[in-house]
Protein backbone atom coordinates (compact mmCIF):
# COMPACT_ATOMS: atom_id res chain seq x y z
CA UNK A 1 0.00 0.00 0.00
CA UNK A 2 1.21 3.50 -0.69
CA UNK A 3 1.49 6.06 2.09
CA UNK A 4 -1.95 7.57 1.46
CA UNK A 5 -3.68 4.17 1.59
CA UNK A 6 -1.78 3.17 4.75
CA UNK A 7 -2.97 6.40 6.33
CA UNK A 8 -6.57 5.71 5.26
CA UNK A 9 -6.34 2.14 6.56
CA UNK A 10 -5.04 3.37 9.90
CA UNK A 11 -7.85 5.93 10.07
CA UNK A 12 -10.41 3.25 9.15
CA UNK A 13 -9.28 1.01 12.02
CA UNK A 14 -8.22 3.47 14.73
CA UNK A 15 -9.94 6.74 13.86
CA UNK A 16 -6.54 8.45 13.48
CA UNK A 17 -4.64 8.88 10.24
CA UNK A 18 -1.25 8.78 11.96
CA UNK A 19 0.26 6.30 14.40
CA UNK A 20 0.59 7.39 18.03
CA UNK A 21 3.69 9.50 18.67
CA UNK A 22 4.86 7.00 21.27
CA UNK A 23 4.12 3.96 19.07
CA UNK A 24 1.38 1.37 18.85
CA UNK A 25 2.24 0.02 22.29
CA UNK A 26 0.72 3.25 23.65
CA UNK A 27 -2.75 2.32 22.38
CA UNK A 28 -5.23 1.44 25.11
CA UNK A 29 -6.46 -1.45 22.94
CA UNK A 30 -3.90 -3.17 20.71
CA UNK A 31 -4.24 -2.96 16.94
CA UNK A 32 -5.69 -6.33 15.93
CA UNK A 33 -6.76 -8.05 12.72
CA UNK A 34 -9.19 -10.96 12.77
CA UNK A 35 -10.99 -13.11 10.22
CA UNK A 36 -14.69 -12.76 10.83
CA UNK A 37 -16.05 -16.21 10.04
CA UNK A 38 -19.50 -14.76 10.77
CA UNK A 39 -19.21 -12.30 7.86
CA UNK A 40 -20.58 -13.22 4.47
CA UNK A 41 -17.96 -13.98 1.85
CA UNK A 42 -19.19 -11.13 -0.35
CA UNK A 43 -19.11 -8.57 2.45
CA UNK A 44 -16.61 -5.83 3.15
CA UNK A 45 -14.17 -5.69 6.05
CA UNK A 46 -15.43 -4.06 9.24
CA UNK A 47 -13.62 -1.89 11.75
CA UNK A 48 -14.31 -1.47 15.45
CA UNK A 49 -12.59 1.86 16.03
CA UNK A 50 -13.06 1.87 19.81
CA UNK A 51 -11.04 -1.37 19.97
CA UNK A 52 -8.59 -0.70 17.07
CA UNK A 53 -9.84 -3.90 15.46
CA UNK A 54 -10.08 -4.83 11.79
CA UNK A 55 -12.34 -7.77 10.94
CA UNK A 56 -11.79 -9.32 7.51
CA UNK A 57 -14.40 -11.40 5.70
CA UNK A 58 -13.48 -14.84 4.40
CA UNK A 59 -12.15 -14.39 0.85
CA UNK A 60 -11.23 -16.83 -1.90
CA UNK A 61 -7.97 -15.01 -2.72
CA UNK A 62 -5.60 -12.32 -1.48
CA UNK A 63 -6.52 -10.16 -4.49
CA UNK A 64 -10.21 -10.38 -3.61
CA UNK A 65 -9.45 -9.48 0.00
CA UNK A 66 -7.26 -6.56 -1.08
CA UNK A 67 -10.02 -5.21 -3.35
CA UNK A 68 -12.59 -5.44 -0.55
CA UNK A 69 -10.27 -3.85 1.98
CA UNK A 70 -9.42 -0.92 -0.30
CA UNK A 71 -13.12 -0.41 -1.08
CA UNK A 72 -14.02 -0.36 2.62
CA UNK A 73 -11.16 2.02 3.45
CA UNK A 74 -12.04 4.43 0.64
CA UNK A 75 -15.78 4.36 1.29
CA UNK A 76 -15.41 4.48 5.07
CA UNK A 77 -13.04 7.42 5.26
CA UNK A 78 -15.83 9.94 5.81
CA UNK A 79 -17.59 7.92 8.48
CA UNK A 80 -21.32 7.60 8.30
CA UNK A 81 -24.24 9.97 8.36
CA UNK A 82 -27.72 9.50 9.69
CA UNK A 83 -30.43 10.70 7.31
Q: Looking at the annotation, which residues are catalytic?
A: 50
Name residue 53's beta-bridge partners: 32, 48
Whole-number CA gyration radius for the chain? 13
The phi and psi torsions of 54 (rounded to 5 degrees) equal -110, 125
For residues 47 and 65, give the distance between their C-alpha atoms in angstroms, rounded to a whole number: 15
Question: Which of these, 20, 7, 5, 2, lies nearest to 70 by C-alpha position?
Answer: 5
Amino acid sequence: LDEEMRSLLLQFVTGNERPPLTGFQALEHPFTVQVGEHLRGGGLPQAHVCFNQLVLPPSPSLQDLRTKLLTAVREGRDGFELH
